Structure 1
């Protein structure tokens, strides 16, 4: 999610904002200007781009873009993983609503992989994937920011993904915005 491999789908699937660090206090929670867009039709960007990453993202498409509450979201992606990802790898997810931090959670990547029909280890290589997720109708209107940083068991950065999604107010304005 948003080249995105099945690993990135696990990163995104673990995030409540798409159904989008305590371990190291020196890692910042949210990306700064060190981001770059990922080709495709999505609000997802790669963050921490000055840090080497194992996942080279080449395409992320979301449909619909922007996501719509109460509808399914289709995520299509292409990517190249340069090293195997083994047991013990993890992802830190931060979700904010406006300026309010809603969630900081660490997930075991291998435990999340069944959500995208995979299991550990993930072997290095090229991946092209499509995954559909449901956006709950109950998502409150507002701007949601998601940051997902995935690491190997040795704390090597697999990828950093960030995105901003805005859900409009309910009612007649929803179809106009």
Structure 2
């Protein structure tokens, strides 16, 4: 479904490949989400990220916010503290306003090919630059994306969320 692809692109084009470069902050923030460093709409989920396998240093989107019908360039850096192996997965939810468009569990190792990686993802510093096209058919409105990434044993890799509005100041309530 093309709309689902666009929504996933909204959260830095491939949130489903998040384990390769998305990560949780080492800071523990209770009761509120914290912004991912850089120029993007990404935030860490409201949870303890002290045991996350990946630490994010920065994510930049160009343009930010993403635009329908335009190329989106994602630049991200982070550190992988433990090798990520086959069996890791992403729980992904994408909503358009109050409408749930995507609610799926995706194999992380199948998805990281979207950012030119493959499993196992070894320990060390990662730097990724990826350009994707966002379809011009993306309806105007507000999209909310939530992605929880875990190992095959249920160990947290990261959890991220974002809210992106397409179509300028128009939102679902304006239509």
Q: TM-score, normalised by structure 2?
A: 0.78
SS at match of 2:112: helix
Of 41, 44, 50, the residue aligned with 2:42 is: 44
- Equivalent residues in 2 for 1:155-170 (5 A)? 155-168=154-167
**8 Å contact kept, 1:34–1:50:** no
Q: CA distance change for structure 1 residues 82 and 15 in 2, over 3 Å: closer, same or farther? A: farther
5+ residue gaps, structure 2, are 12-29, 171-175
SS at match of 1:144: strand
SS at match of 2:121: coil
5+ residue gaps, structure 1, are 1-13, 21-31, 172-177
**8 Å contact kept, 2:115–2:128:** no
- Equivalent residues in 2 for 1:1-177 (5 A)? 16-19=6-9, 20=11, 33-51=31-49, 52-168=51-167
* Number of residue equivalences: 147
Q: CA distance change for structure 1 residues 33 and 73 in 2, over 3 Å: closer, same or farther? A: farther
RMSD: 2.1
Moved over 2 A (4+): none
Q: CA deviation at 1:170?
A: 10
Q: TM-score, normalised by structure 1?
A: 0.77
| Structure 1: distance between partners of 2:169 and 2:135 | 13
